[in-house]
Amino acid sequence: MRKDLVSIADLTKEEMLELFELAIEMKDKVKKGVEHHHLKGKVLAMIFEKPSLRTRVTFETGMYQLGGYAIYLAPQDIKLGQRESVPDVARNLSRWVDGIMARTFAHKTVTDLAENATIPVINGLSDLEHPCQILADFLTIKEHKGDFEGLKLAWVGDGNNVCNSLMLASGILGVHMTVTTPAGYEPPEDIVKQAQELAQKSGGSITLYNDPFEGVKDADVIYTDVWASMGQEAEREKRLRDFQGYQVNSKLLENAKNDVIVMHCLPAHRGEEITDDVLDGPHSVVLDEAENRLHAQKALLVKLMG
């Protein structure tokens, strides 16, 4: 495996499948209370520019369960790029700790950290990608659906960072993914092109739609996310208007397969992009996804820092 995980496309299909197997193995050990201190004495620095529940708790708990330590660096602690340049932070941390996880606004911050650090750097979220979330997502899909090939995954909502990473991973794993957005909210063309090129090699496909009922037709998985991400609060009212008709609700689910699973990376704006009865209903696997952040990231930490 490469030294860093900046983009989900840094991984091959084989590496992803290996991560899923290791994650399942360590998940089983947690359930049985079996110690697995693969990273005993190792230290992970966690840089946060954005608030977090799942990312902080799962990385911190994961390092603890692996026998290591995690140091939380809040926005005010280092003022990344203001008090000190990103390359200097990367070089300094490389002398003290064994890995860096960064949850940032600009994707360039993560790439700059990776280029200047001599230790592994993990993208915990940027405005372009969310690879750790996608590892948890496909681990969850594997648990519920088995094989990936031939699977139809339908995204409904904004063409955001989660959508970008999902497209790339779908392309790598041979999944048929549809992306349904209002006009003007499509994912970036270069990411779509990259995902489609990956899909051509794997037997998958990436198709864009504007009609959600068409996009979710016969879907095995429906995935949504908030319509206004962190940093887009000023656009919130406009987005609420533009995304009317793109809500994941029981009527939309009728167009998918009977055993469809519904995913959301959380936090959710209940009553906006998804209704309570779907989010809390029998098709929802959102808490499995949230739990699997822990196990998927632990597998990644072991592969990169072990």
- 101-146 pLDDT, tens digit per residue, is 999 999 999 999 999 999 999 999 999 999 999 999 999 999 999 9
Annotation says 297 is catalytic: no
pLDDT at residue 237 in the model: 87
Question: Average pLDDT of the chain?
Answer: 96
Q: E strands within the chain?
A: 43-48, 69-73, 99-103, 121-125, 152-156, 176-180, 205-209, 221-224, 261-264
Annotation says 130 is catalytic: yes
Domain 8-130+290-305 and domain 133-287, same fold? Reply is yes
Which sequence spans correspond to the domains of the chain? 8-130+290-305, 133-287
- Span 28-87, pLDDT tens digits: 999 999 999 999 999 999 999 998 999 999 999 999 999 999 999 998 888 887 889 999
- Span 178-222, pLDDT tens digits: 999 999 999 999 999 999 999 999 999 999 999 999 999 999 999
CA dihedral sign, ordered 298, 131, 142, 306: negative
The pair of structure tokens assigned to 220 is 């095995």
Task: Give me the catalytic one of 54, 56, 107, 130.
Answer: 130
Task: Give me the catalytic one of 38, 163, 176, 265.
Answer: 265
Confidence of residue 233 (pLDDT cuts 50, 70, 90): confident
Annotation says 82 is catalytic: no
Task: Give me the catalytic one of 194, 225, 247, 283.
Answer: 225
Alpha-carbon distance of 191 to 26, in angstroms, equals 32
Strand partners, 152: 176
**Length of the chain counted residue by residue:** 306
Annotation says 56 is catalytic: no
The pair of structure tokens assigned to 261 is 């699973």
Annotation says 239 is catalytic: no
Task: Give me the catalytic one of 38, 239, 283, 293.
Answer: 293
Strand partners, 123: 102
Q: In degrees to the nearest 10, what's the CA dihedral of 283, 256, 165, 171?
A: 130
Annotation says 103 is catalytic: yes
Count CB neighbours of 16 within 10 A. 21
Q: Rounded to 5 degrees, what are φ and ψ at 290?
A: -60, -45
In this structure, the strands spanning 221-224 and 152-156 are parallel
| Third-level CATH fold of 8-130+290-305 | Rossmann fold (3.40.50)
Alpha-carbon distance of 199 to 29, in angstroms, equals 34
Architecture of domain 133-287: 3-Layer(aba) Sandwich (3.40)
Task: Give me the catalytic one of 65, 133, 194, 247.
Answer: 133
Task: Give me the catalytic one of 54, 56, 103, 107.
Answer: 103
CA 11 vs CA 59, 194, 260, 280: distances in Å = 20, 14, 27, 32
